[in-house]
């Protein structure tokens, strides 16, 4: 999490595609009338604010480590800038939601154990993470980091930062949860030139761009664009970008 590397405008370029998993995750949460709902890793908070429609009587609170993201947060919920690894709730939580956050936290299995202790009896924990770390987009980036850009980017982590669905089920069931886990591969059709590059600028490329000086960004992005065009060719209707995601909803 570290420095504030997030650019809200880049991240929101595909807001509809990024928002759909959040809504599909929350739809499987069975809480009827929670009083305290927290969205950990809330980003700009626009999705967090939609929880007000689902639970109008609840206190809705969003947490994110990026001041730039929180600065864009809309009304409808309260927000704070904090690292989720350090965050502690002021009182027990009825629903914890975390959408596309945990892949940035290598030690997130320990974090999930801690979040279980924050929940009320009968509480809900729902999270979604990308499961596409063996996709061509990530293979291309790893190849560039260990070849052309190895002097500057050889220290970028290459291991998949998330676990498979059955591993989450095993962990959470052992903590006393009833677990519903599934995966979905979305077939996004992205418009414009270098569409996949534009998508990953807001996610997978952030750690690499953060390590490079600003004057090196253009050269690195040009190399990425060339490789990505080979594995994701643009079609007359757009660029097809399969994206696997892993969902987990757990209930005490």
Q: Model-level pTM?
A: 0.91
Q: Are 31 and 110 in contact (CB under 8 A)?
A: no
DSSP per position, 57-89 = TSEEEEEES-HHHHTTPPSSSEEEE--TTT---
pLDDT at 12: 64
pLDDT at 236: 97
Give the SS3 label for residue 161: coil
Structural domains for the chain: 8-186+242-251 (3.40.50.150)
Structural tokens at position 177: 């949860």
Average pLDDT across each block of 10 residues of the chain; the chain has 252 residues. List them in order.
50 75 98 98 95 97 94 94 96 97 94 98 98 94 93 81 96 98 97 94 86 94 96 97 97 98
DSSP 181: E
**Residues 6 or more apart from 56 whose CB is under 8 A from it?**
none
pLDDT at 7: 55
> Rounded CA gap, 244 and 252, in Å?
27
């Amino acid at each position: 999490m570290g420095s504030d590397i997030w650019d809200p405008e880049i991240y929101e370029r595909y807001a509809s595609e990024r928002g759909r998993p959040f809504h599909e995750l929350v739809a499987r949460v069975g809480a009827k009338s929670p009083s305290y709902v927290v969205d950990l890793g809330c980003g700009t908070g626009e999705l967090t604010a939609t929880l007000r429609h689902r639970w109008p009587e609840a206190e809705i609170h969003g947490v994110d480590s990026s001041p730039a993201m929180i600065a864009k947060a809309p009304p409808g919920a309260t927000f704070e800038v904090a690292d989720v690894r350090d965050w502690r709730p002021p009182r027990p939580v009825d629903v914890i939601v975390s959408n596309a956050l945990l892949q940035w936290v290598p030690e997130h299995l320990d974090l999930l154990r801690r979040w279980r202790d924050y929940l009320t009896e009968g509480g809900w924990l729902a999270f979604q993470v990308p499961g596409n770390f063996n996709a061509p987009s990530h293979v291309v980036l790893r190849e560039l980091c260990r070849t052309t850009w190895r002097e500057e980017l050889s220290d970028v982590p290459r291991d998949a930062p998330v676990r498979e669905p059955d591993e989450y089920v095993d962990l959470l069931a052992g903590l006393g949860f009833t677990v519903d886990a599934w995966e979905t591969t979305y077939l996004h059709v992205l418009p414009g030139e270098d569409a996949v590059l534009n998508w990953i600028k807001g996610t997978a490329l952030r750690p690499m761009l953060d390590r490079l000086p600003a004057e090196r960004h253009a050269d690195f992005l040009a190399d990425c664009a060339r490789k990505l065009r080979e594995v994701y060719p643009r079609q007359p209707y757009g660029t097809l970008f399969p994206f696997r995601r892993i969902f987990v909803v757990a209930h005490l």
